[in-house]
Structure 1
Amino acid sequence: MTKTSLPPEEKKVADKVVIFSKELIILLAAFAVSLFTFIFIAFRVFYLDKTGADEKAFAFARSIVNDSTTKLMEIVTFFGSHYFLIPANLLVSFYFLLTKKSRYSIKVSAIALSSVLIMLGLKLLFNRHRPLIPLLEPARGLSFPSGHAFMSVCFYGLLMIIIWREERPHPVLKWVLLILVVALLLFIGFSRIYLRVHYFTDVVAGFCIGSFWLLLSSFLIDRIRPAGLKQA
């Protein structure tokens, strides 16, 4: 029995359905892992009062403290601060407006604003005070989850999603950029522990809930099709 082939138009639709199904499965898995890890960390820290990981992380950070590393960590942590991320979000959003990619401009703005509100709400909810042993100047505000980790994942992660979905650059360059972004995120997270303005669990929780919100909000915005809005 010969296998019947679908007409070109139906084949395109079928391919899109398969791709969408795979993306949905990956997204659901990422949602579940990120949210579960965040809940697990919060349960251990606030209900079981388990802080061994925080103490070990501080001990390791103390063992590598020197002037050169401290200066490097100050630079790295700047790229996860609101001093950098607020203008960066505005510039990226404005860039997409100029290039007539309204979908991306709306996505950048919506995720940036919503993530700030969620982060502030979570900090007030958990009300965890910062470490009392800052390496340099003490940071203001509450500690859990790390705002640097949360906001950095939302901004840099969204840029990577956008780059990954574009036809250019070359796939090899996309992987190089992805690795560099992941490395930057890890360094930003570690800088907060090194400078002793966040606990290890603050940083991991920030990465987890930031990833969860980035993927969820990005998925929801992609499903919305406001009248007259051009799809990027």
Structure 2
Amino acid sequence: MATNESDGKLKRASVVISLILLIGLAFTFKQPLLVRYDVKIILFFEGIRTEFLNDFFFLFTEIGSIKVLRPLAVIVSAFLLMKKRYLEIFFFLLAFLGVRGVNYLLKQAFERERPSFNSIIEAGSYSFPSGHAMNSTAFFGFLFYLFIHILKVGQKHRLVWLTVTITIVVLIAISRVYLGVHYLTDIVAGACGGLLYLFIVIYLYKLSSRHMRQEEGKGTS
């Protein structure tokens, strides 16, 4: 009971902080002070570039791309289909596809140009908020949620998988600044947006799952 209460408080705090950061950055990312620090951070990463780090962060930026997430989504969906978890398939695809649509709309609304420095790779569309950060947060976050609930992962192993999930998402996010295609404020806003979207999908999934169990209970009574 105490664990559930603490988890609930942590989730509520995460939602509030993410919402405040996202809204705050939406109104301030063009302010000279933030722009100055954004530029300094990009130049810092440019200064530490090596061939090894270039390959390392390019790998993680690829992991967060549609080229990797799409086939991974197909594999996960096929696994859920084998398990006859149709509700989970729907919400997993909602997490995968829906967040991309929301990110596109946000990019079009803010129309922030990408950094014009020595980027290692080419990137299209606008910069704010980061699609890689937002999409990977929602995608891997919901994948982790499904994984621990469907496979009934214990508390000890749950912490391990949570650490792995967070590490992957963080490295994907950092890769975008390192490679020179995003500002740090884009990344923070993207992660916050992805986290908010993730909590919404999880909330709707829980609501739908509870409703289905109630309907099944009525049918057997």
Q: Shorter-chain TM-score: which interval?
A: 0.7 to 0.9
Residue among 35, 47, 65 paired with 1:51: 35
1:213 aligns with 2:200: no
- Structure 2 CA distance for aligned equivalents of residues 68 and 48 of structure 1: 33
Aligned match of 1:9: none
Deviations, residues 66-116 of structure 1 (Å, cap 9, x unaligned)? 111101111111000111112212221221011112222111011222111
1:149 aligns with 2:127: no
Q: Which runs of 5+ in 2 are unaligned?
A: 217-221
Report deviation, 1:153. Answer: 0.4
Aligned match of 1:79: 63
Report deviation, 1:163. Answer: 2.8
- Structure 1 CA distance for aligned equivalents of residues 206 and 115 of structure 2: 39
TM-score (norm 2): 0.86
1:105 aligns with 2:89: yes
Structure 1 counterpart of 2:64, one-letter code: G
Question: Cα 1:135–1:208, aligned 2, differ >3 Å: closer, same or farther?
Answer: same
Aligned match of 1:179: 163
Structure 1 counterpart of 2:179, one-letter code: L
- Structure 2 CA distance for aligned equivalents of residues 116 and 146 of structure 1: 11
TM-score (norm 1): 0.83
Structure 2 counterpart of 1:104, one-letter code: E
Report deviation, 1:179. Answer: 0.9
Residue among 10, 21, 27 paired with 2:11: 27
- Structure 1 CA distance for aligned equivalents of residues 142 and 198 of structure 2: 7
1:139 aligns with 2:130: no
Residues 35 and 208 of structure 1 are in contact (CA less than 8 Å); yes or no, is this contact kept in structure 2?
A: yes
Residue among 127, 130, 147 paired with 1:163: 147
Which is richer in helix?
Answer: 2
Query: Which has the larger Rg?
Result: 1
Report deviation, 1:23. Answer: 5.4
Q: Which runs of 5+ in 1 are unaligned?
A: 1-14
Report deviation, 1:227. Answer: 6.0
Structure 1 counterpart of 2:205, one-letter code: I
Deviations, residues 176-200 of structure 1 (Å, cap 9, x unaligned)? 1111111111111111001101111
Count residues in correspondence.
Answer: 214
- Structure 2 CA distance for aligned equivalents of residues 171 and 221 of structure 1: 21
Report deviation, 1:48. Answer: 6.3
Aligned match of 1:41: 25
Q: How many percent of aligned residue pairs carry the same amino acid?
A: 27
